[in-house]
Amino acid sequence: MFIRSVIGLVAAVGLVGCADSANTAENAASSQVALEAPVDMGIHRFDGIDPSLPTADLQRLRAIVGGARIVGLGEGTHASGGYHELHERVARFMIQEMGFRVVTLETPRWRAEKVNDYVATCQGDVNEVLLGMFGVFRSSNMRNLVTWMCQWNQEHPYDRVRFTGFDMQEPWAQHMALEAFLHDGMPEDADALYARLSTCNGIKAVSNTDYYENYDHLPYPKEAQDACHRGLDALEAYWQEHECDIVERTSARALALARIDLVAFRQWQHRRSYEPSSLGSYQARDTGMAYILTNQWRIDGRPKTIAWAHNGHLQYTPYGPQGHDPHGAIPMGAQLKEDLGHDYAAIAMVGYDVGIRWPGEEPEWLPPPPADSVEGKLHAFGEPYLLVDLKRVSSRFLEPGKEYELNDDMDVPGKAFRALLYLDRSEPMTPSR
């Protein structure tokens, strides 16, 4: 199973650059001259982040994306408004002009269902609907995008768009979905199978609030973890043995979705068996997210999908020594690249002056990147908005195979991403209300 093959995988998927032969020293003056011939540099201006702008300046994304059916559209940090506004603009362009039909977000899968219900019907209060997603995504631009998507569906009833989530941090929803499926698909054995999960973390929680108020602080001893995994193993084995009967009682789609819940619930158990913020904890999350995203995509018929997440989760390479996650963990993007090949492309979003506004807090500004970082080198051009095609970027800007600081980490940019969208300034996020 893919979920097991990706653990410990080290992805080293390189992107070949159309580099100039000379490796000259970089400086702001020579960069500015070269930028006037953007095809030679692989660096292009675009007009801005306002979603109402014409789209001629975004057309280069077609060649960058190519035939990829899942495009990771990143952000250098959560809760930054410029990134959100550009997300809205690019997502609308990709839906209108490139045939993308799903926006999937780094937020729990079941909680995103309420957002998708709104996108499908335009019924309800959009601000209430957004409460189902992580707070760092509840911006005015997310509200605008979700509203625009529901209006698209009203105008295109036979060419609809969907909104989904791929995070696995909701054990309360997963165990309840598993219990319901057991009673639908194997009622005579449902109670016994579900009872074998009684030691799993979160098995008694009935909501997000219930879990974090009553169960999050409880210890999770190894004997309970082991018993939980034995129960999950038994459930998986039962499904394999009785698959035809289960499908006849439910459907192949229902069983495939239940398997997503089982894997997500198992990865939650792995995550809770490690210290918070440890390599093992982050690895469990990224592996769970990779499984959810790819298998939901396959179940839905491989639609062209935009995956909105932190740059770190989307990159092709392991987290580096300065990254926001532990050094060496294999992010979701590396696992997608290994599994999907050219069907997956990652585009990072980075900035120089970056403001953030975490939920319930005042706006603040992050320290500017150093001059020799990728963001610092782009800042030297004096341009507000730039698109860097990492397959064609000149060696006068980025030396082939050389590591640079990018997004507070050290990496070879062309190995980590297919392209960069650069904002010289990104204002703090404006909450949806």
pLDDT digits (tens, 9 = 90+) for 380-433: 999 999 999 999 999 999 999 999 999 999 999 999 999 999 999 999 999 998
Q: What is the pTM of this model?
A: 0.91
The DSSP call for residue 341 is G
Question: Rounded to a whole number, what is the largest CA-CA distance in the chain?
Answer: 75
Are 144 and 183 within one domain? Answer: no
Residue 61: which H helix or E strand, with range? helix 60-65
- Positive or negative, the CA dihedral 271, 219, 260, 231 is positive
What CA–CA distance (Å, rounded) separates 165 from 243? 27
Give a yes or no: residue 314 inside a domain.
Answer: no
Q: In 242-373, where does DSSP find H-type helix?
A: 243-249, 252-272, 279-299, 311-314, 332-340
Closest by CA position to 190, among listed 116, 266, 267, 249: 249
Are 62 and 106 within one domain? Answer: yes
Are 124 and 233 within one domain? Answer: no
Q: Alpha-carbon dihedral of residues 165, 166, 172, 174, nearest 10 degrees?
A: 110
- Give the tens place of pLDDT for each residue, 128-143: 999 989 999 999 999 9
The mean pLDDT of the chain is 91
What CA–CA distance (Å, rounded) separates 78 from 309? 8
What integer pLDDT is reported at residue 6 of this predicted model? 38
Domain harbouring 71, CATH code: 3.30.1870.10
Are 192 and 160 within one domain? Answer: no
Are 163 and 219 within one domain? Answer: no
**What Cα–Cα distance (Å) separates residue 140 from each residue in 80, 143, 421?**
11, 5, 21
The DSSP call for residue 428 is B
Percentage with pLDDT > 70 across the chain: 90
Tokens (6 digits) for 44:
């292009």
Half-sphere exposure at residue 176, Cβ-oriented, CA atoms within 13 angstroms: 11
What integer pLDDT is reported at residue 40 of this predicted model? 54
Does the pLDDT of residue 24 top 60, yes or no? no
Closest by CA position to 146, among listed 126, 165, 125, 123: 126
**In a 3-state reduction of DSSP, which class is residue 135?**
helix
Residue type, 205: A
Tokens (6 digits) for 235:
């459930």
Provide, for the chain, the percentages of residues in helix, strand and coil under a 3-state DSSP scheme, each rounded to the nearest 5: 45, 15, 40
Does the pLDDT of residue 200 top 80, yes or no? yes
As for how many domains the chain has, the answer is 2
Burial label for 202, CB within 10 Å (0-12, 13-18, 19+), is: buried
Does the pLDDT of residue 1 top 50, yes or no? no
Under 8 Å between Cβ of 273 and 280 = yes
Does the pLDDT of residue 126 top 80, yes or no? yes
* Residue 281 structural domain: 171-286
Residue with tokens 């093992």: 280
Out of 286, 314, 345, pick the residue that ends a domain.
286
Are 128 and 193 within one domain? Answer: no
Out of 286, 315, 345, pick the residue that ends a domain.
286
What integer pLDDT is reported at residue 222 of this predicted model? 97
Are 58 and 118 within one domain? Answer: yes
- How far apart are the two ends of the chain, measured CA to CA in Å? 43
User: Average pLDDT for residues 334-339, to the nearest whole number?
Assistant: 98
Give a yes or no: residue 403 inside a domain.
Answer: no
Burial label for 10, CB within 10 Å (0-12, 13-18, 19+), is: exposed
Are 148 and 53 within one domain? Answer: yes
**In a 3-state reduction of DSSP, which class is residue 391?**
coil
Out of 237, 252, 286, pick the residue that ends a domain.
286
Q: How many residues in the chain?
A: 433
Residue with tokens 């990254």: 323
What integer pLDDT is reported at residue 4 of this predicted model? 38
Within 10 A of 339 (CB to CB), how many other CB atoms are there? 17
Task: Please list, residue by residue across 369-395, b when 16 or more beta carbons sit within 10 angstroms of its beta carbon and e when fewer do.
Answer: beeebbbebbbbbebbbbbbbbbbbbb
